[in-house]
Amino acid sequence: MANVESDSTPSVPELNESRAELLNRIQGLKQDLQNWRSKLDTQVKIYRDELTDMKKTLSVEVEQLRSLQDFSGDDKERKDDPNINGKDEEVHAIATPVEDNAKADDK
């Protein structure tokens, strides 16, 4: 039985070879991890840059919408103003016969 135990026990050169293989595998894994992390960092930077651009674009569009909203608010105020509203009716009254004549020409 002592013979079996000595056969199953690895020798020093086998242990050294196994140790060297494990160290090589660990170094390879470390290198793979560093490469993966580098790629991941690059991808995160790209996404951050894209998000920053989108945020800037969104801010510009929101500002444009607000200015349009302010403009339409000014338009509503003009409609509520009786002086301006009366002038609009005068322009409409003048334009109506022309439109009616154009419709009559089409018939």
Summarize pLDDT for 31-61 with one digit per residue, the tens: 999 999 999 999 999 999 999 999 999 999 9
Question: CA triplet 29, 32, 36: central angle to 5 degrees?
Answer: 140
Summarize pLDDT for 77-87 with one digit per residue, the tens: 656 665 655 55
**CB contact burial 6-26 (16+ within 10 A = b; e otherwise):** eeeeeeeeeeeeeeeeeeeee
Its pTM surpasses 0.95: no
